[in-house]
Amino acid sequence: MRVAVLCGPSLRAMYVANVLCARLPVVRIVRETGREWSWPALRRALRPGALWARARRALRRSRCRFDERNYYFADQPARFDAAELVRECAHINDPAVAADLRACAADAVAVFGTSLIRNPDLLNLAPDRMLNLHGGISPDYRGADSTFWALLAHDFTRIGCTIHRIDRHIDHGDLIAHVHPHVRPGLTEEELFSAAVRDAAPVFAEAFVRLAAGDVLGRPQPPGGRLFLVRDRRSRHDRELRDQYRRGNFPPVELPPRAVWFAAPPPAPAALTAPFAATPRRRLDPVRRKA
């Protein structure tokens, strides 16, 4: 197995890439530093609603006191452990990215923190071994700010990360694993999200090891859930969650860290033909009573 890592520009993406390099035969790290622009995308980005959403996001980040660098790297320098493998690109759908991975003979792809992959050449490079680490529990919380929405809904058992196969939709492919962090009162959105990413990174690596060993993993996502976009998070939502924390003892539960794997469902049994057709089963009384 030869693994390529596609990651975004954040420090947590760098941390995940380092964990994968320590546990897998990584042959390339591609770091996306910008985004893909087109005239339709530019028109959408300049809409008043989109501009306000980005302004609110920037304001939240400026107010956040969480030290991401210290959380993931402590007193170590924040850098790639295998810097010689790193290539930067403006956007992940650049045709040069797929060409570079083919030149490296990569047959497995790990994705975290990039924009949506749309390039067919990249999607078809390793369809069964192209996995994404999503910072939420799919299908219930797909898209952006998944930990925030789970906290706002008091859906504490669905705080965590999802490892899934990649298809053409957002956080939609077959489920490989759910990873849940330790949830306890007083932990903020940023702390819970970062703990989920930290706990999910070694499970992400383990998923590739298990697939290479022949384990049959992956289960289609059940219908339902919701896709959250950046613009869906409004100021009133932030105020509501802040009020919950000000009242104290929030989240009001303590849940242990855990990982849930999804094996492929067994094939449906073939229908039997006469004369070996199954007969109706007798319904049994589950309680045996004394005479």
- The model's pLDDT over 213-222, given as tens digits with 9 standing for 90+, comes to 999 999 999 9
* pLDDT over 70 at 272, yes or no: no
Phi first, then psi: give them for residue 92, nearest 5 degrees.
-70, -20
Confidence (pLDDT) at 291: 37
Residues 6+ apart with CB under 8 A from 151: 159, 189, 192, 241, 244, 251
| Average pLDDT, integer, range 89-95 | 93
* pLDDT over 50 at 42, yes or no: yes
Q: Amino acid identity of 181?
A: P
* Domains, in order of start, for the chain: 3-261 (3.40.50.170)
Q: Which of 1-5, 31-35, 116-120, 200-204 has the lowest mean pLDDT?
A: 31-35
Report the 10 Å Cβ neighbour count for 68: 16
**Beta-carbon-side half-sphere exposure of residue 51 (alpha carbons within 13 Å):** 5
At residue 166 the predicted structure's pLDDT band, cuts being 50, 70 and 90, is very high
